[in-house]
Amino acid sequence: MQDDRPVVGVIDYRTGNSQSVVHALNFLGVPNRLLTSPKELIGVDRIVLPGVGSAGTAMAYLSAAGWPEELRGRVVDGDTPFLGICVGLQILFEYSEEQNTDCLGWLPGSVQAFDGLNVRVPQMGWNQVRRTSGHPFLAGLPEAGHFYFYFVNSFYAVPAETGDTAATTEYGVAFTSAVARGNIMATQFHAEKSGPLGLDLLSRFATTPQEELCLP
Amino acid sequence: MSAMTAPAGLTTRLIACFDIVDGRVTKARRFADNIDVGDAAEVAASVYADGIDEIIFYDILASAQRRQADLATIRKVAEIVFVPLTVGGGIRSVEEMHAVLAAGAEKISLDSMAVRNPSIITQGSDEFGRQCIVQSMQVKRVPATAAIPSGYEVFIDGARQATGLDAIDWARRGEELGAGEICVNSIDQDGTHEGYDLEITRAIADAVNVPVIASGGAGSPEHAAAAFTEAGASAAIVSSLLYSPRMERTLPVGEIKTELAKRHGLPVRLT
């Protein structure tokens, strides 16, 4: 039987929780594979970049494995749907205060730290996400209501172009909790650990027809 | 960070804490006399369906038996439960942390091993980030002395071994070393259903700027509410309340959360 469903590749960080994303995709019945090197991208239709740890460690790992060039070719120059999670959102921007890291620079803007005088850091727990753009990725979420996702972060992205922000969340400050531009999508929260609501979002990324999912 | 009872935007968190023996959840009283509750994956699936916010696994024999944590059980749960999982018990090295995370856990809980070798907190934090390392401590009321001014001493190895460490000092030290969250387990209150030790939980929540988990003693939703409103905890462990065979009446997670929201005005995530 022919299987036309998109195959999701999950980039495997040694320091990350890639396995948690794989568990979630398996639970959803989404064809997927762990990718330890860009060579394994053949046959992969969509890419997830999980992220745990720090921006500096993540960039060092990705660069050593040759990911930045390969991903740029497929995602920025090409049209492969891409989902970054947590640090996988932060490193899409130009620069992170965390370990003074130069990042991928696909989206203009930078990443800064929460103010520890104001809130406990890291932010750890379930927080509310409010949709702020019409991008189809988050279209399943109403604009208001009690929709909680699981966050663990000490840093947050500040997009230079406000249109890139797809959702915001309050933690001492209103910060960007999801971004979306065309085929590039990312969440600061861990969709793979956010219960049924998070699974819905992963499923949406993995299974929505590309022309429907990746509208600008 | 005193007087911070409502963390900006976040809900209060309820955590189920499984004492694992041979792939089964057990429940202790004052760190002893564990009795069987059920198969870990089945209990996990049930509390997940009810809206638990997190699950912690303590492989309670791993440390004493000097072996690695029970990865097969972690994996089984991680395949069907999609909230954060923390694993503790017998983890001595960064390599062992890798194995636990690869099984599907998000966080590592360090307790007795961190007392023996505090640098393991820093090693874990450097490798995986602060958010990955939970400093868990077993604390017990003792007469206050010059060495233990708070009147709370840290114990290890299933509450059997005194360390001479002051609980508040050890919490501050853990945060400095790189812990991203601190779990305060009261030996005196564990499994008693009489309420958390609010005094030491409050003192540690005031002493550090990372989130603090109250643990040991919850017997009612009111106890959990007090951990948040009076002790400044960000999360509360509610094991007995959910499934202890010693409780006359256990409560589903959703019912506890509804109480927290309706009677105490606390923010909760309802599923």
Closest by Cβ to B78, choosing from A20, A54, A153: A20
* Token couple for A196: 């049924």
CB contact under 8 A, A20 and B106: yes
**CA–CA separation, B253 and B15 (whole Å):** 9
Mean pLDDT confidence for A41-52: 92
Q: Which ranges in chain A belong to alpha helices (H)?
A: 18-28, 55-64, 67-71, 87-90, 195-207, 210-213
Q: Out of A161, A190, A212, A214, which one is annotated catalytic?
A: A190
Active site residue A103: no
The verdict on a CB contact (< 8 Å) between A194 and B101 is no
Sequence-ordered list of residues with C-beta below 8 angstroms from that of B70, at least 6 positions apart, any chain = B20, B23, B57, B59, B62
The nearest CA of chain A is from the CA of B212 a distance in Å of 10
ipTM > 0.90 (yes/no): yes
- B79–A23 CB contact, under 8 Å: yes
Q: What is the rounded average pLDDT of the residues B157-169?
A: 95
Give me chain B's average pLDDT, please. Answer: 92
Reported pTM = 0.94
> In this structure, which topology does domain B13-264 adopt according to CATH?
TIM Barrel (3.20.20)
Q: What is the DSSP letter of A93?
A: S
Kindly list the domain boundaries of chain B, sorted by start residue: 13-264
For residues A41 and A46, what is the distance between their CA atoms, to the nearest angstrom? 9
- Backbone phi, psi, residue B60, to 5°: -70, -20
> Would you state the pLDDT for residue A142?
65
pLDDT digits 0-9 by tens, B4-62: 444 568 999 999 999 998 889 988 887 788 889 899 999 999 999 999 999 999 987 77
pLDDT band, residue A16 (cuts 50/70/90): low
- Cα–Cα distances (Å) from A32 to A3, A5, A23, A43, in that order, read 13, 10, 10, 10
Which residue among the candidates A86, A98, A135, A214 is catalytic per the annotation?
A: A86
Domain boundaries in chain A? 8-213
Q: What gap in Å lies between CA A189 and CA A129, rounded to an integer? A: 9
- pLDDT at residue B186 is higher than 90: yes
- A185 has a pLDDT exceeding 90: yes
To the query of whether residue A212 is one of the catalytic residues in this protein, the response is: no
Task: Look up the CATH superfamily of A8-213.
Answer: Class I glutamine amidotransferase (GATase) domain (3.40.50.880)
- Cα–Cα distances (Å) from B74 to A18, A59, A152, B136, in that order, read 15, 29, 20, 19
